[in-house]
Chains A and B, each alone.
Chain A
Amino acid sequence: MSSKIIIITTIILLLISFSVLFVIEAKNHNYDYKKSWSVVYFDNPRDDSLDFTIENHQGGKAEYDYEIFVGDDKVIDDKIKIEAGAKQKISPVIEDEKSKENKITIVVDYKDVEYKIYKNIR
Chain B
Amino acid sequence: MFISLPKLILVLPFILILPGFFLLLAFFGWKNEKISFFEKSALAVPLSLISVDLIVLLLARINVPLKGLNLVGSILIFCLLCFIVFQFRFRKKNQKSESREKRNGSESFFDFSFWQTVFILLSIALAIFIRTAYLSDTILPSSTDLGHHMYWVQKIIDSGELPDYGMPDFIIGEHMIFAAVNLISGVSLMSAMPALVLLLFNVAGIFAMAILLARLFKDKNIIAFSFFVAGVLYAVNAPQAKYVSGGVVGNVIGNMLIPIALYFLYRALKEKNQIFAGLSLFSFLGLLYTHHLSSLILIFSVAAILFVYLVLNFKRVFRIIGDWLKIFLKPAPIFFLISSLLYLLFIFTPSYFNSAAIGQATGSPLKVTRIGLNFDQIEMSVGSARLLLGALGFLLIFLNIKPKKIRYSFALGWFAILFVMAYKPGWLFINIPSDRIGNYLFLPLTLLSAYALVRYFEFFQSAASRFFATVLLFTLMFFVITDGMADSAEAFKTRPQFQEAMQTFHSADYLAKTLDTSQDVILKDHVNIYGDSWYKLFFMKDYKYPLSRGNLSRYVDPTKPRETCTRDMISDPQSDKGKMCFSETGVNYVVLNAQFEGNSFEKYPEFSKVYGSNYISVFRL
Contacts and interface: CB of A to CB of B under 8 A. Distances in A.
A2 B135 CA distance: 31
B502 A29 contact: yes
B196 interface: yes
B502 A117 contact: no
A94 interface: no
Interface stretch (A6-14, A67-75, A78-86): A6-14
A22 B499 contact: no
Contacts of B141: 25
B38 A20 contact: no
Contact of A15 (B9, B610, B611): B9
A21 B198 CA distance: 13
A21 B192 contact: yes
B9 to A, nearest CB: 7
Contacts of B107: 3
A45 B618 contact: yes
Tell me which of A19, A29, A115, A119 has the highest count of chain B C-beta atoms within 10 A of its own C-beta: A29
Contact of B514 (A22, A23, A44): A44
Interface in B583-614: 589, 602, 605-614
Contacts of B128: 10, 13-14, 17
Interface stretch (B118-126, B273-281, B342-350, B471-479): B118-126
Nearest to B206: A10
A42 B611 contact: yes
B516 interface: yes
A38 B614 contact: yes
Contact of A21 (B36, B135, B511): B135
A89 interface: no
B5 interface: yes
Contacts of B192: 18, 21-22, 24-26
B520 interface: yes
Contacts of A45: 511, 514-515, 589, 608, 610-611, 618, 620
A21 B132 contact: yes
Contacts of B510: 41
Given A6-B120, A40-B613, A115-B612, 17 more contacts: A1-B116, A3-B36, A3-B110, A3-B112, A7-B38, A10-B124, A14-B203, A18-B199, A21-B135, A24-B136, A26-B2, A26-B191, A37-B503, A41-B611, A45-B610, A46-B620, A120-B605
B9 A18 contact: yes
B339 interface: no
A104 B111 CA distance: 77
B178 to A, nearest CB: 15
Quick one: which of B114, B203, B516, B610 has the most chain A CB within 10 A?
A: B610
Given A10-B124, A23-B5, A1 B114 contact: yes
A31 interface: yes
A119 B610 contact: yes
A46 B140 contact: no
Nearest to B520: A46
A100 interface: no
Contacts of B515: 45-46
Nearest to B227: A6
B139 interface: yes
A3 B117 CA distance: 8
A39 interface: yes
B242 to A, nearest CB: 15
B149 interface: no
Nearest to A113: B614
Contacts of A115: 612-613
B117 A1 contact: yes
A43 B513 CA distance: 10
A97 B111 CA distance: 88
A9 B516 CA distance: 52
B498 A34 contact: yes
7 A-B pairs with the lowest CB-CB distances in the bound complex, closest first: A45-B610, A25-B192, A39-B613, A3-B38, A3-B110, A41-B611, A37-B614
A96 to B, nearest CB: 18
Contact of B121 (A9, A17, A25, A43): A9
Contacts of A2: 111
Contacts of B606: 120
B41 interface: yes
Contact of A1 (B112, B203, B498, B620): B112
A116 B28 CA distance: 68
Interface string B93-120: 0000000000000010011111011001
B539 to A, nearest CB: 15
A61 interface: no
B195 interface: yes
B325 interface: no
Contacts of A37: 499, 503, 613-615
Interface string B482-524: 0000000000000010110011001000110011100010000
Contacts of A26: 1-2, 4-5, 191-192
Contacts of B4: 22, 26
B181 to A, nearest CB: 12
Given A17-B128, A45-B618, A118 B498 contact: no
B200 interface: yes
A93 B403 CA distance: 89
A36 interface: yes
A29 to B, nearest CB: 6
B8 interface: yes
A43 B438 CA distance: 50
A29 B191 contact: yes
A98 interface: no
Given A23-B5, A36-B499, A37-B499, A42 B610 contact: yes
A25 B5 contact: no
B502 A30 contact: yes
B37 interface: yes
B131 interface: yes
B190 interface: yes
Contacts of A88: none
Nearest to B42: A7
A38 B594 CA distance: 13
Contacts of A35: 498-499, 502
Nearest to A121: B608
A8 B456 CA distance: 31
Contacts of B502: 28-31, 35
B189 to A, nearest CB: 12
Given A28-B498, A45-B515, A13 B618 contact: no
30 contacts: A1-B116, A3-B112, A6-B112, A6-B117, A6-B120, A6-B121, A9-B121, A9-B125, A10-B124, A10-B203, A13-B124, A14-B199, A17-B129, A17-B199, A18-B196, A21-B135, A21-B139, A21-B195, A24-B136, A25-B192, A28-B496, A37-B503, A37-B613, A37-B615, A39-B613, A39-B614, A45-B620, A116-B612, A119-B620, A120-B608
